[in-house]
Structure 1
Amino acid sequence: MRKLARYVVDTALAVFANSFIGSHMIPVRLRPRLYNLLGHRIHPSTTINTGVFLGARTGLTTGPNCYINHRCFFDLGGEVILEENVGLSYEVMVVTYDHAIAGSDSRVGFADPTRHTTVIEKGTWIGARSIIMPGVRIGAGVVIAAGSVVTSDCEPNTLYAGVPAVAKRSIS
C-alpha cells in the first residue's frame, strides 16, 4: 500500500510540475521558486520558459543567470547541473538514463538502467533541438550548434556541431 501511495503522490507532483508550473499561468520569475519547493535547486535568477519537462521531483541544479527555453526536456534519472550563464535554446533534450541493449527476442532494454550525471559548465550555449546524451560534461564557453547530438565530453571554448557532435573550431 505504501508503494501505491508513493506512486500516486509522485504522479500528482509530476503532473503539477509539468502541467501547472510549466504553463503560461505561472510567471517566469515564480517558476524557480516553485520547482525548488519540489526539490530542485534552481537559482532565483534562472529563467525557465513554458513547456519544460522535468522527469523527476529532484535532480536539476542551476547556477545564476541560466536560461532554459520553451519545451526543453530533462529526464532526470541522474543529476543535471547547469553552471552559471548557461543557455538552452528551444527543445533541447538532456538525457541521463542509459541501458544495455536487450537480448534478440526483445530489444526493449529497460532492464538495469544506469543513471549518469550531466554537467554543462559556465557560459555555454546549446542550440535548438540538440540532444545531450548521458554522462556528458560540456566545458565552459562551449557552443553546440542547433540539431547536434552530443555523445562525449566537450573541450572548453569550442564550437561543436553534427551527429555526433564534433569540434569544428576554437572560439574565444
Structure 2
Amino acid sequence: MSALGTGLSRLRAATGGAGTRWTAAAGDAGTRWTAAAGDAGARMAAAMVHRGDDWIRRRGQLSRGRTGRYRFAHFGEGTRIGFPVGCLFNTEWISLGSRTLVGEHVSLTAGMAPCQDLGDRPPLLWIGDACVIGRGSHIVAHESVRIGGHVYVAPYVYITDQNHGYTALEEPIGLQIPANRPVVVGDGCWIGTGVIILPGTRLGRNVAVAGGAVVRGTFPDHCVIGGVPARVLRRYEPGTGWRAVDLDRTRSA
C-alpha cells in the first residue's frame, strides 16, 4: 500500500503540474490574443476616424455650385475653400477667380459685420486666378482689397484695408472712427508666413515678402522685402540684374 500510495501521489503531482502549465500557457495565449485583438480594434477605429474625417473634409469644402449657404459675387471654376471654413461673411461682395485654393480656417470678410447691406457696388474683396491662400489666414476688406493672379499666401497671414483711429486721447481706440485705404497685391507675389499687410499697401508684380514682415507702403515689381517695418532687401534692375539694397544708406536717407 505504501508503494501504491507513493505512486498515486507522484501521478497526481505530475498531472497537476501539467495542468498548471497548460492553464498558464492558455492564460498567456488568451492575454496575447486579447492584446492583439485590442491592437487590431484600435487600428480599425483609427482608420475609421481618419476615413470619416477625410469624408467630412471632402463634403464640407466649398466649390463652384456647392457653396452651401454662402452666395459669392463670383466663384470661379475649379476653386475650393477648405473645410472647416473660417469666418465668411457678406460673401456677396467677395469675388474668387478660377483654380484658386483657399485653405482651412481662412477668414474672408467684406464690410464691418455679418448681414451688412453694402449696397450696389463691386466686390470689396477680389482674389484672382490660380491663387493659394494658406490655412488660418485672414483677409478683411472694408473698402477694397485686390489680390492678383498666381499669388501665394502662406499660412497665418493678415491682410486688411482698415485701421482704427487713435488720435482722440479720451476715446478708447476700438471706438474711434476707422480709416480705410485700398490694398493691392500684384500678380505673382509670394507672401511669407505670419506677414501683416496694412492699409494702403501696394505690391508690384512678383514681390516676395519675407515671413513675419509688417508691410505698409508702395513697393516696385520684382523685389524682395522684409522686416518691421518692411523694406526692400533685394531688387531687380534691368541691365544689371538682381542686387542687394544698402539698408544703411536707405535708413540714413
Do these two structures clear the TM 0.5 threshold for a shared fold by scoring above it?
A: yes
Q: Which runs of 5+ in 2 are unaligned?
A: 1-55, 74-90, 112-122, 237-241, 243-253
Structure 1 residue 114 displacement after superposition: 1.9
| Amino acid of the structure 1 residue aligned with 2:197 | I
**Kept in 2: contact 1:68–1:87 (CA 8 A):** yes
Partner of 1:150: 215
Alignment correspondent of 2:204: 139
Structure 1 residue runs of 5 or longer lacking an equivalent are 1-22
Q: Report Cα offsets for 1:73-112 as digits up to 9, x if no partner.
A: 1121222111110110001100111243142223415332
Separation (CA, whole Å) in 1 of partners of 2:212 and 2:218: 17
Cross-structure match for 1:52 = 106
What is residue 9 of structure 1 aligned with on the other side?
Answer: none
Residue of structure 1 equivalent to 2:151 = 86
Identity of aligned residues (%): 25
For residue 185 of structure 2, the aligned residue among 120, 135, 143 is 120
Q: Residue 42 of structure 1 corresponds to which residue in structure 2?
A: 96
Alignment RMSD: 2.3
CA deviation profile, 1:39-85 (whole Å, cap 9, x unmatched) = 21101211101101123275221111111010111121222111110
Counterpart residue number, 2:232: 167
Per the TM alignment, residue 143 of structure 1 is displaced from its structure 2 partner at its CA by 0.1
Q: Give me the whole-angstrom Cα distance separating, in 2, the residues matched to 1:110 and 1:77.
A: 16
For 1:117 and 1:26, the matched residues in 2 are separated by: 32
TM-fit CA distance, 1:116: 1.9
Paired residue secondary structure (1:101): coil
Q: Does 1:106 align with 2:183?
A: no
Q: Distance in 2 between matches of 1:79 and 1:121?
A: 14
Query: Aligned pair count?
Result: 149
Does the aligned pair in 2 maintain the 1:32–1:46 contact within 8 Å?
Answer: no
Equivalents in 1 of 2:128, 2:175: separation in Å? 32
Evaluate the alpha carbon distance shift between residue 87 and residue 65 of structure 1 in structure 2; reply closer, same or farther with a 3 A threshold. same
Question: What is residue 142 of structure 2 aligned with on the other side?
Answer: 77
Post-superposition shift, 1:31?
7.0
Of structures 1 and 2, the larger Rg is shown by: 2
SS of residue matched to 1:75: strand
- Equivalent-residue separation in structure 1 for 2:136 and 2:231 (angstroms): 25
Bigger relative contact order, structure 1 or 2, given CA contacts below 8 A and separation 6+? 1
Q: Distance in 2 between matches of 1:161 and 1:83?
A: 20
Q: 2: distance between equivalents of 1:105 and 1:66? A: 43
C-alpha separation between the residues in 1 aligned to 2:192 and 2:206?
A: 13
| SS of equivalent to 2:169 | coil
Contact kept in structure 2, 1:158 and 1:169, CA below 8 Å = yes
Amino acid at match of 1:115: N
Considering fraction of residues, name the structure with more helix.
2
Q: 1:79 to 1:89 in 2, by over 3 A?
A: same
Length-normalised TM-score, structure 2: 0.54
**2:61 corresponding residue in structure 1:** 27
Q: TM-score, normalised by structure 1?
A: 0.77
